[in-house]
């Protein structure tokens, strides 16, 4: 029942946003061509946003379930391969993202709007399902290293909205070498945190399991708010809604 209500709420929110954007989107798109996001983005804010989208909070339980009954060597190899796949995917996304945006004539506000919608819907569904039993089937058969690519690297570590965020930040930093290095450093730190979390998953869940459950709820609510913020900011830049001056 809770899940049905959550899905209905998500559909209503998505329908409302589509109706809001459709009326003025065509004319707003032309007006938005001369409007861009700030050229420089605070490194701490970038870290917080990418941590929420790519960080280790969502990895612990899935990794524990995937590696149930395996030895430490298998877990280390699986974690290492997953991080390598994740790093390769993010590098590819950051490198090709700008080219694809240019070729398809997609503006940064539109890409950010898409990322915000995905993040908001996924995070909202996760928050609504907190505390309810999950009906996801566990991987059948014995654990395999093939799990490193899917579902561990993608979409557990590298989420679709995380890829969109990396493309946005990489595009903003393409003409600033220092900003590009800072972005690479942030991504490296987060991936290192993910690797550490997977290596020590048993100890983390044993000693901080209850605290992590509360933290996961806080992260989920923050993701919902962040998704809404990205949506509203993008709609303001596109001219669909007016920015409050007070």
pLDDT digits (tens, 9 = 90+) for 106-129: 888 888 899 899 999 989 988 887
Q: Answer for the pair 197, 89: CB distance below 8 angstroms, yes or no.
A: no
Distance CA 86, CA 180 (A): 18
User: Is residue 42 packed enough to be buried (19+ CB in 10 Å), middle (13-18) or exposed (0-12)?
Assistant: exposed
Rounded distance between C-alpha atoms, residue 21 and residue 243, angstroms = 15
Averaged pLDDT, 120-140? 68
Confidence at residue 132, expressed as pLDDT on a 0 to 100 scale: 54
Question: What integer best gives the mean pLDDT of the chain?
Answer: 79
Report the pLDDT averaged over residues 150-158: 93
- State the pLDDT at residue 43: 81
How far apart CA 149 and CA 156 sit, in angstroms, is 10
Q: At residue 20, does pLDDT exceed 70? A: no
């Amino acid at each position: 029942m809770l899940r049905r209500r959550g899905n209905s709420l998500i559909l209503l929110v998505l329908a409302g946003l589509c109706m809001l954007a459709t009326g003025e989107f065509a004319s707003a798109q032309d007006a938005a061509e001369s409007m861009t996001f700030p050229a420089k983005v605070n490194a701490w804010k970038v870290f917080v946003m990418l941590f929420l989208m790519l960080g280790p909070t969502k990895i612990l339980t899935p990794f524990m379930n995937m590696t149930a009954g395996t030895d430490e060597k298998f877990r280390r190899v699986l974690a290492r391969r997953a991080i390598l796949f994740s790093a390769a995917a993010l590098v590819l996304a950051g490198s090709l993202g700008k080219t694809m945006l240019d070729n398809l004539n997609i503006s940064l506000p539109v890409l950010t709007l898409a990322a915000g919608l995905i993040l908001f819907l996924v995070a909202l569904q996760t928050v609504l399902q907190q505390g309810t039993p999950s009906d996801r089937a566990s991987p059948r058969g014995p654990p395999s290293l093939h799990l490193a690519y899917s579902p561990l690297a993608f979409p557990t570590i590298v989420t679709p909205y995380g890829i969109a965020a990396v493309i946005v930040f990489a595009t903003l930093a393409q003409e600033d070498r220092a900003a590009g290095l800072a972005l690479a450093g942030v991504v490296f730190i987060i991936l290192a945190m993910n690797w550490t979390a997977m290596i020590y998953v048993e100890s983390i869940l044993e000693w901080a399991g209850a605290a992590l459950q509360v933290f996961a709820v806080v992260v989920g609510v923050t993701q919902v708010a962040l998704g809404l913020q990205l949506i509203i900011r993008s709609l303001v830049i596109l001219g669909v809604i007016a920015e409050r001056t007070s």
